[in-house]
Structures are given as C-alpha cells and as structure tokens.
Structure 1
Amino acid sequence: MILLRRELGDVLREARQVQGRTLRDVASSAQVSLGYLSEIERGEKEASSELLASVCSALGLPLSETMLQVSERIAVAEAVTAPVPLPVGPVAPVVSAA
C-alpha cells in the first residue's frame, strides 16, 4: 500500500541528508521535538499542514516543491503496482456436444 506519510517522510529525510544536517538541527529550526520529526521522517506520524510548512521552511524548501516530489514518488509507486492488462484475443465459439 502506498502511504502519503511514508513518501513525505522520505522526501524530508533526503532533503535533510543532502544538506548534511542533523535531525536535532532541523527540529530546533522548525520548533518541533526531535522525536516527532524522526517519526514523521519514518512515516509513522502524519504531519499537520502547519508543522509541514515549518519543517519545509527550516529546510529552506518551498512547500510546493516538497509536495511535487511526493506526488512524483507516488506516481512512480502507482505505476509499479498497477495491474498489467492481459491481451484479449478472439473468443472461440462454444461447441455443444449434443
């Protein structure tokens, strides 16, 4: 199952790691507890829109760019999990044995 909170957490964690910042540093800048930010990054907690805006601001990321990245990740995951249509050929007539 594709979960928005997991994809969002991955995007936030990757952004933080690319910047070489610690959870403690970002949590302090965003004025959120270290444990709660950790749970958000691991996809265990849903972030409110206010909290997400604060974390994005602390990371110097526009909220719109963050959500775009999340959307792209979900689209990829959906494509991987989508059922593959089977080819449909002509239907053979049913022959009665009467």
Structure 2
Amino acid sequence: MVLLRRVIGDALRARRQGQHRTLREVSSAANVSLGYLSEIERGQKEPSSELLAAICDALGARLSELLREVSDTVALAEQMPGVLVPVTDEPVAAGTVRKATNRGVHQVSSDGSVAVQVRQDSPLKATLRSTRVRPADRDVVCAA
C-alpha cells in the first residue's frame, strides 16, 4: 500500500525544488515551522487540510492541482501488482512491464497522462517514481 502522506510530501517537495526555493522560504510564507514542513515533505507527518492549503498557497499552486497529482499517482500505483510487497513471478497487469535488474525489480505502468515506475529493492523497501507525460509537469519520487 502506498502511504498517502509520502506521496503528498514528495509532490510538495518536487514543486518546491522545481521553483528552486528553500524549506525556509516556503515555511516562512506558509507560516509553518521549518522542521514541521521538512517532516511533511519526508512523509513523516500528515498535514491538515488547512496546512496543506497554506503550503500550496506559499508555493503558488492550487490545492486541487496537488491533490489531482497525488490522486493520479496513487491510482496508478494501486493497479500495479507487488507494490510494497515481496515480488514473485506472478503475471502482471496489462500495460505493466516488469524487469529484473541488479538493483531490484522494476515495474512500469502508464495510463497516458502519468507513468509510474516501481523499483522493489527488497521485500520491505520500494521506490515509486511518478512522471507526468506532459513536459511541463514535474516528477514525483516516493521511497518506502
């Protein structure tokens, strides 16, 4: 199961870094402590809707855009077999590609607007990377 707080944190971090802004700048603009914002970005804390709206405002993003990005990432990841569980030789869903490499098993899936790649490093560690197909969008990386 993909943790929502991690996907939200990674999406916020990607937006902040895409603007070449520091945690300090965004935390000051959102009126949230730097440490708490850092914990949110690392997926350790789950922000309230009010706090999430303030952070989005500080980043010049619409809350609906961020939530749509998060929703697309989670929806596509949910369709991928073996995400965050031990990987076996079971068949994979249509539109999903799985290949073994020296750094774990990779799965790639796309719905046309979002591509999700999962690297299963061990039974308890996986890295999920989401990429928007449109060139203006940013990548989101989740590590579990």
Aligning the two structures, in what range does the TM-score lie when normalised by the shorter sequence? 0.7 to 0.9
Q: Deviations over 1:57-98 (max 9, x none)?
A: 00000000000000011012112236857xxxxxxxxxxxxx
Moved over 3 A (4+): 82-85
Match of 2:77 in 1: 77
- Normalising by structure 1, we get a TM-score of 0.81
Q: Which has the higher helix share?
A: 1
Distance of 2:26 and 2:35 partners within structure 1: 12
- Normalising by structure 2, we get a TM-score of 0.56
Of all paired residues, the percent bearing the same amino acid is 60
Question: What root-mean-square deviation, in Å, do the aligned CA atoms of Structure 1 and Structure 2 show?
Answer: 1.5
In the alignment, structure 1 segments of 5+ residues that lack a partner are: 86-98
Opposite residue 81 of structure 1, the aligned amino acid is P
Greater relative contact order (Cα 8 A, min sep 6): structure 1 or 2?
1
User: Larger radius of gyration, structure 1 or 2?
Assistant: 1
Q: Which has the higher strand share?
A: 2
Aligned positions of 1:51-70 closer than 5 A: 51-70=51-70
In the alignment, structure 2 segments of 5+ residues that lack a partner are: 83-89, 93-144
